[in-house]
Amino acid sequence: MPLIVSDRYSLIIGLGVTGFSCAQYLARQGERFCVVDSRQDPPFLQQLKSEQPNTLIHLGEFALDLCLNASQIILSPGVSLQEPVLVEAAKAGVPIRSDIDLFAQAARKACVPIVAITGSNAKSTVTSLVGEMAKMANLNVAIGGNLGQPSVSLLADNIDLYVMELSSFQLESTTGLGASVACVLNVSADHMDRYNNLMGYHQAKHRIFQACKAVVVNGNDALTNPLVPDTVTQTRFSLGEPDVGQFGVLTKHGEKWLAKGMYCIMPVKKMALKGGHNIANGLAALALGEAAGLPMDAMVSTLTTFTGLPHRCEHVANIDGVSYINDSKGTNVGATVAAIEGLGPELKGKIILIAGGEGKGADFSDLAAPVSKFCKQTLLIGADAQRIKQVLFDSSIFFDAKDMQTAVSIAHENAVSGDLVLLSPACASFDAYDNFESRGLHFSQLVRALI
């Protein structure tokens, strides 16, 4: 029996957290919709059946007729646009949208500004930091997207500002976001198992700039430069001395300062976030916050208290003078390079790096130089340990640790006072863990058991 519905409807593809949030949102709007998922038992199946018992749900292979008869397709970020039925639907002129489109349309209707942030690394930290700055300024701010709550679940009355982390997967099918301020923090190869090359990934990230009012650009990363009209305000941040009106670092009387132009904002040492990479994150947050109209005093106050997020260069313990850092969120090469280069120069000793997992088709060669400079040992775990080993063969002493427990044990045995044990895998966790959070928790539990 063909799965053709006579009346027009929205088709939600994917019944994970995003798809379910879209189903709830469309139900609140009184709109007709159907849901499809390739899995036989997707995560929110029973909850959707309970809340919306009359909703058509199709499980298994995607049905082309459902796609072609839809008024629009709302695509979950885990589903690629290259799915054959989606290619055919696009050819037939069926609009393919994301949950971000639904969110942005509602936010614009309510005249609530959006700060939109993406990047290969640090987007969760910077999004949270800007959100905390807005709270410090006594704004009613909603923070989410790829971080925390899905976008349409954030929609509510009396919101003053939305601060959104967006992934390349979400942005692929987003059109005309129209953010008040948009930023690509950095671009390094990631998700090469989904994209044909770095350019495809780069292009997905840059969709964040569609119809934006102002942009923030990383002056140390040319791949963040947007193609936007001259009428769009641009602010730059970098780790060098800033030009007039831009954000950067000044050295005054031997002390480093976060600065705008020649104006010193605050000493770097007063930031609660530590590590050279977090100086860039603080500057990005200042530039984004200022573009969104946040007062400088509230932003500075936040920088003195915001210590970061779990699993993002999170300090776990200091044991016999050895620091243990959980950077399980370092799921790509760029993130691990940033962690090593950010933490390494501050050490009296060296880094013992725990790396490995599911590499997502990544090229690990960029790890070689920072590992050679700052690491005395590398402990390899997970599915792609051998691929990393080939790249690091001449860069440090390495061990095939096989699993996290073995890696922590070897690190503990070999570390001396002044060293730092860093879990920053440069890989996804799905070969051995449900997610990067569970991987980081396991590391932290093993470390605390040493105390």
CATH of the domain at 66: 3.40.50.720
Q: 109 and 209: one domain?
A: yes
Asked if the structure places residue 1 within a domain, the reply is no
Q: 224 and 368: one domain?
A: no
- Residue ending a domain, among 281, 303, 325, is 303
> pLDDT, tens digit, for every residue of 264-302?
999 999 999 988 899 999 999 999 999 999 999 999 999
Asked if the structure places residue 3 within a domain, the reply is no
Among the ranges given (3-17, 123-137, 331-345), the one the predictor scored with the smallest mean pLDDT: 3-17
More confident of the two residues 130 and 309: 130
Q: Which residues are catalytic?
A: 123, 146, 191
For the question of whether the overall pTM of this predicted structure is more than 0.85, the answer is: yes
CATH of the domain at 273: 3.40.1190.10
Contact 334, 189 (CB under 8 A): yes
Asked if the structure places residue 308 within a domain, the reply is no
Q: 258 and 334: one domain?
A: no
Contact 331, 356 (CB under 8 A): no
Q: Is the pLDDT of residue 383 over 60?
A: yes
The C-alpha atoms of residue 387 and residue 35 are separated, in whole angstroms, by: 39
Determine what percent of the chain is predicted with pLDDT higher than 70.
98
Domain of residue 434, residue span: 314-448
Asked if the structure places residue 379 within a domain, the reply is yes
Asked if the structure places residue 309 within a domain, the reply is no
Sheet containing 351-355: give its strands across: 314-319, 322-326, 420-423, 351-355, 375-381, 397-402
Asked if the structure places residue 337 within a domain, the reply is yes
Q: How many CA atoms lie within 13 A of 370 on its CB side?
A: 22
Q: 112 and 35: one domain?
A: no
Average pLDDT on 362-384 reads 94
Asked if the structure places residue 175 within a domain, the reply is yes
> pLDDT, tens digit, for every residue of 205-250?
999 999 999 999 999 999 999 999 999 999 999 999 999 999 999 9
Q: 297 and 420: one domain?
A: no
- Band the pLDDT of 375: cuts 50, 70, 90: very high
Q: Is the pLDDT of residue 1 over 50?
A: no
Q: 90 and 160: one domain?
A: no
The C-alpha atoms of residue 124 and residue 118 are separated, in whole angstroms, by: 9
CATH of the domain at 349: 3.90.190.20
Q: 158 and 261: one domain?
A: yes
Average pLDDT on 96-104 reads 97
Residue identified by tokens 């200022």 is 290
Q: 129 and 259: one domain?
A: yes
Residue identified by tokens 């969110």 is 103
Which amino acid, residue 355? Answer: A
**Mean pLDDT of all residues in the chain?**
95
Q: 36 and 110: one domain?
A: no
- Residue ending a domain, among 284, 303, 322, is 303
Q: 105 and 93: one domain?
A: no
Q: 406 and 290: one domain?
A: no
Q: Is the pLDDT of residue 197 over 80?
A: yes
Tally the domains of the chain: 3
- Residue ending a domain, among 71, 97, 123, is 97
- Band the pLDDT of 7: cuts 50, 70, 90: low
Q: 350 and 420: one domain?
A: yes
Who's near 334: CB < 8 A, 6+ residues apart?
A: 120, 121, 186, 188, 189, 190, 366
Q: How many CA atoms lie within 13 A of 261 on its CB side?
A: 3
- Band the pLDDT of 4: cuts 50, 70, 90: very low
Contact 359, 426 (CB under 8 A): yes
Asked if the structure places residue 2 within a domain, the reply is no
Q: Is the pLDDT of residue 3 over 80?
A: no
